[in-house]
Structure 1
Amino acid sequence: MRVGRRGGRFAVSRGKGFQVTKSVAVLGTGMMGAGMARSLLRAGLSVAVWNRSADKARPLAEDGAVVAADPASAVEGADVVLTVLFDADSTAEVVGGLDLGEDVVWVQSGTVGLIGAQRLAGLAGGAGYVDAPVLGTRKPAEDGKLTVLAAGPTALRDRVAPVFDAIGARTVWAGEKPGDGQRLKLAANSWVLSITAATAQAVALSRGLGLEPEAFLDAIAGGAADSAYAQAKGRAMIAGDFAPSFGIDGAVKDAELILDAMREAGTEDRVMRALHEQYRVAADHGGTEDMAAVVRAFGT
């Protein structure tokens, strides 16, 4: 794993034959993609956007993006194509019909799992392919403060550096092969899903024992057991505020991908199986809500 820094952002030095990235096509402007597109625009890049539901793409025109009618129009003339779609199937459906060309780099930022990453790499054709899922939710995407977990050939790293510098606070290079970024993302998301569900369990237990659940958050505040994520998600659970920043449907999907990876790795998966069931039960109440709604699966 390689991590480098330049100007407060993580990147690598430029070598010979460097091709300047000036234009980016963003395919998928939902919860994450819209914020990433705005971050690219703030960085001075030319941005074309497309989304299956056009109403989610149109507001980006006010920020300076070109709103394309279809994916082929969006990628025409782009140096980098950034896909931010829900899963491997939706990404393959969109990109499979495109001829990206040898001068284009495709940055695939969805969480698609190990099999999905290999499948999508096979659709790149002659284009460069960088596996680059991100850590962060809606607000970091809007602020350009995501963590990019990237994997791809060393020769492509300078090409994608302007994109990663715009959307992220740092880039961690996890390897050079398709799927290396997904491996790191799945490990990180196993922690995210675990700590969110554990917070829900503690909030529900506090209520069940007749306590104000804020007492639990106050008890861990500032100590070794505290985390900003537990505080943020815990307060959302207590308030019943499930406006999505990381959808619970995405949590269910990612738990399934993590289970697939755990089976491949040969690691014990009983905890993740239990977490998957909790998120699935909660998603049945409202799949578009934030993952904090997992608290409902604990009886509150």
Structure 2
Amino acid sequence: MNEQVFSLRMPVERSSCAVFNSPHSGRDYPAAFLESSRLDPLQIRSSEDAFVDELFARAPECGAPLLAARVPRAFLDLNRGPEDLDPALIDGAARRAVNPRIVAGLGVIPRVVAEGRPIIEGKLTLAEAEQRIAAHWHPYHAELATLVDGARARFGSAILFDCHSMPHDALATAPVVWGRRPDVILGDRFGAACDRWLIDAATEIFTAAGFVVARNAPFAGGYITQAYGRPRMGVHALQIEIDRALYMDEARVERLPCFEQIRGRIGAAVARLSELGPREMRVAAE
């Protein structure tokens, strides 16, 4: 079952304390799910972080594992908590304190994709929702936790890079950096998910690779960054958002001719990110 949930590429030799994670790049849509959907094949992919796992594919050759979802985000959002059930979609789900993501239809089982388009007619039963979470969410996060804990046990610390893409339109609310909208947004939940040295280093690395970088606006980090980032315990988590318009046609969900060039630049950044670790942590503490 796990091979239906995620793919895991391990390095020949694990020489980095980094773990690269792509929870929204899954594109294995169950046939029954597609048949039940109101959306056409392109619309249903609009919330997918298409090709992000390919952009960060250099991680294993740099000594770090790369975990990537196979299950698609429209089916199950691995960057939400398992308790984030949407009562508007799931019959029998308990109503909790107001959660803006759930209100927007973006719970652990999404009600909508991009532009608020409903995925299915009607509702799921609570039993159906719980079965989906048990079969997919829990195995994925068990593997991610194992990778992070393994890095900390082996190297004394772990760095989780949570890799995503963002619609170009989302940058309308992003801060202007050097007169331009950013290409990359790094999110550390305003300092809660990692020590300052890490986001500083990542900013420098992506800038050196030719990208304009902003921090925490409009994306500061989701469930994974919040749940795994425990800097006082030696686990640092940083979310990386890449502008989709840099490398893909968003409407067609197709790679642009410049895809390999962008992948090369991100690969160069991945190599340097993989070199970060205990030495930088010791220097920051001195």
TM-score, length of structure 1 as denominator length: 0.26
Q: Name the structure with the higher helix share.
A: 1
TM-score where L is the length of structure 2: 0.27
The structure with the larger Rg is 1
Structure showing the higher strand proportion among its residues: 2
